Amino acid sequence: MNDAEPIIVIKNLHKHFGDVEALNGVDLEIQRGQVVVIVGPSGSGKSTLLRCINHLEIETAGEIWVDGQRMTQDQRQLNAMRSEIGMVFQLFNLYPHLTALENITLAQRVVRKLPAAEAEEIAMKQLTRVGVAEKAHCYPAQLSGGQQQRVAIARALAMNPKIMLFDEPTSALDPEMIQEVLDVMLDLAREGITMVVVTHEMDFARAAADVAVFMDEGRIIEQGLPEVIFDHPNEERTQLFLSKILHK
Amino acid sequence: MASKSISTRLNALPYIESRKEQLRYNLREFPWWLPAMAVIALVTYSQIFTQSSYNQAFNFIKIGLTMTITTTVWAFATALGIGLVTGLGRISSNVVIKNLATLYVEFIRGIPMLVLIFFIAFVGVPAVVGGFNQLVITFAELGAPVPAQFLSGMQSRSVPMNLRAIIALSITYGAFLAEIFRAGIQSIGRGQMEAARSQGMSYWQAMRYVILPQAVRNVLPALGNDFVAMLKDTSLVSVLAVRDITQVAKLYAAQSFRYPEAYTTLTILYLTMTVVLSMLVKLVERRLGRNERR
């Protein structure tokens, strides 16, 4: 694959839920190693866009290309592609019947067919990376929200993904736990992992993002360097949104 | 589980002022029915072991226990398989599979169990046997190599009644268990399937490793209840002259005219089995509750 090629290409993406138009013609290109932060009011289609990238939502019209391959509905291709795209959810979605370690090894064993010992080694490495190695044998219920989300990040990283998608990863956390998750994400951003992050954390966006994207009503209103978008937005809607969330 | 801890809190002792009131509370809340039941059982069993007429009835009827228990176990095990497959079918995105599963469930739920047992034993099984014979003949006519013993045709009566009873109960309970499995699967949040799929697992891998382990754990109490219900419902197969304890008790009463002995013994046997089983189910439930990992 050519490294100069964008890793994600989204062309004229539309998504309808019944009569509701969640996405209304989105075009976006994301380069390798870029950290892209998507902001916008609720209902603007940010999460839908993110979920379309790994086809948790199937687009109504348009195209999504990941690493030179078009995302189709062919299940075999889809499973292979998804295993290369890590996803972190707002509500963590850890498997409650498995320990932290087992949460991470499951897909490696089932999807990657790795032997148990190797999967565990990788899992421990990732747990150490996100700073919860000592909780390896705890069940999700025994962990705080911040720890759960860090395990969820480790679970995604263990698949050695080309892209990491974050869907409001700190929105369900108590305030005192937000920073520990953001710190892990900042580390990942510095390591050069391609990340697409839907978030309301402006400080994180400024510190980590290469590109900020502002969405409203299913469209990308503007995109550019975070300092430009956040400090000197061109569009009135962006200004309005930022004034609401920055002076609350 | 969150809901469980809330309900325990709601059931916790209210604030009690005096000792007298505490005593009154304890007396009111004591499960009096339990010692009452124990006394009834004790009296009945002492009668069985001391009076020779009861003793005779008991020794006659207990022969049927093996049939009752094996019928329950086999039918329930088969129903579990049917129920799981049908339950998965009910939530399938395939329109044909979904409708077939729903048709089966709605069909069974609308028919009394006794009628179903008659129907399956005397209409369903012979029809399947007849169909099989027809198939063998067709194959033979087409020149397929068919083993000689099949050519003479299978007889309906070579399917014993106790097997028909197991088939009938399995098909009936399969529909009930399907609904339990379906509810269990649907009780698991959508996020679990999404997390598994986002890691590249196929639908069936996600079902097998993520959804079902949680769903089955959630529905174990319901499955336990249905196992107890199945034990009781095996009494219906006596209409097929299958020699379970009900049939044997009926025979004993008819030949000895000792109706009280026969039916008291029968009653206490069922009660003993169901109470013991219910206690086991509760034990398993409590153990699961202790290991609850949410």
User: Residues of chain B with pLDDT > 70: what percent?
Assistant: 90
For the record, the structure tokens of A59 come out as 């687009």
pLDDT digits (tens, 9 = 90+) for A101-133: 999 999 999 999 999 999 999 999 999 999 999
Rounded to the nearest angstrom, the minimum Cα separation between A141 and chain B is 4
Question: Shortest CA distance to A95 belongs to which of B205, B231, B43, B254?
Answer: B205
Strand partners, A215: A220
Least confident of A71-85, A204-218, B98-112, B138-152: B138-152
Question: Are B195 and A93 a contacting pair at CB < 8 A?
Answer: yes
Does the pLDDT at position A221 exceed 90? yes
Q: What is the largest CA-CA distance in chain A?
A: 55
pLDDT of residue A2: 59
What is the rounded average pLDDT for all residues in chain B? Answer: 89
Does the pLDDT at position B147 exceed 80? no
DSSP class of residue A225?
-
pLDDT digits (tens, 9 = 90+) for A40-53: 998 899 999 999 99
Q: What is the sign of the dihedral through the CA atoms of A194, A198, A199 and A202?
A: positive
Which of B242-260 are b and which e, b meaning 16 or more Cβ less than 10 Å from the residue's Cβ? bbbbbbbbbbbbeeeebee
Q: How far apart are CA B166 and CA B146, in angstroms?
A: 29
In sequence order, what DSSP letters do the residues of A72-111 get, joined into one string? -S-HHHHHHHHTTEEEE-TT----TTS-HHHHHHHHHHHT
Residue reference for tokens 């029915």 = B33
Residue with the larger pLDDT of the pair A168 and B139: A168
pLDDT of residue B158: 79
Rounded to the nearest angstrom, the minimum Cα separation between A108 and chain B is 9
| Whole-angstrom Cα Rg for chain A | 18
Local confidence band at B19 (pLDDT 50, 70, 90 cut-offs) = confident
Q: For the residues A52-68, what does the mean pLDDT come to? A: 93
pLDDT of residue B294: 47
pLDDT of residue B143: 77
Does the pLDDT at position B142 exceed 50? yes
Local confidence band at B5 (pLDDT 50, 70, 90 cut-offs) = very low
User: Residues of chain A with pLDDT > 70: what percent?
Assistant: 98
Phi/psi for B234 (5° steps) reads -65, -20
Predicted ipTM beyond 0.95:
no
Query: Does A113 reach chain B within 8 Å, measured CB to CB?
Result: no
Residues on chain B touching A86 (C-beta within 8 angstroms):
198
Sheet containing strand A211-216, edge to edge, reads A85-88, A163-167, A194-198, A35-39, A211-216, A219-224
Query: Does A39 reach chain B within 8 Å, measured CB to CB?
Result: no
pLDDT of residue B1: 40
Does the pLDDT at position B4 exceed 50? no
Q: For the residues A135-142, what does the mean pLDDT come to? A: 95
Residue reference for tokens 């002792």 = B13
Does the pLDDT at position B290 exceed 80? no
Q: Is the distance from CB of B72 to CB of B224 less than 8 angstroms?
A: no
Residues on chain B touching A111 (C-beta within 8 angstroms):
199-201, 205
Least confident of A40-54, A55-69, A177-191, B136-150: B136-150
pLDDT digits (tens, 9 = 90+) for B62-76: 999 999 999 999 999
Q: How far apart are CA A196 and CA A169, in angstroms?
A: 11
Question: Are A107 and B197 a contacting pair at CB < 8 A?
Answer: no
Q: How far apart are CA A242 and CA A236, in angstroms?
A: 10
Report the residue from A82, A89, A93 with minimal CB separation from B200. A82
Q: Is the distance from CB of A122 to CB of A107 less than 8 angstroms?
A: no
Rounded to the nearest angstrom, the minimum Cα separation between A97 and chain B is 6
pLDDT of residue B7: 45
Residues on chain B touching A172 (C-beta within 8 angstroms):
none
Give pTM, 2 decimals.
Answer: 0.86
Taking residue A140's Cβ as centre, other Cβ atoms within 10 Å add up to 22
Does the pLDDT at position B164 exceed 60? yes
Local confidence band at A244 (pLDDT 50, 70, 90 cut-offs) = confident
Rounded to the nearest angstrom, the minimum Cα separation between A143 and chain B is 10
pLDDT digits (tens, 9 = 90+) for A10-39: 999 999 999 899 999 999 999 999 999 999
Local confidence band at B34 (pLDDT 50, 70, 90 cut-offs) = confident
Q: How far apart are CA B255 and CA B127, in angstroms?
A: 35
Burial class (CB in 10 A: 0-12, 13-18, 19+), A207: middle
Residue reference for tokens 């529905």 = B219
Least confident of A64-73, B139-148, B249-258: B139-148
Local confidence band at B12 (pLDDT 50, 70, 90 cut-offs) = low
Question: Are B196 and A107 a contacting pair at CB < 8 A?
Answer: yes
CA B164 to chain CA centroid, Å, is 16
Q: Is the distance from CB of A214 to CB of A220 less than 8 angstroms?
A: yes
Local confidence band at B289 (pLDDT 50, 70, 90 cut-offs) = low
Residues on chain A touching B294 (C-beta within 8 angstroms):
96, 139-141
Q: Is the distance from CB of A78 to CB of A72 less than 8 angstroms?
A: yes
Does the pLDDT at position B265 exceed 80? yes
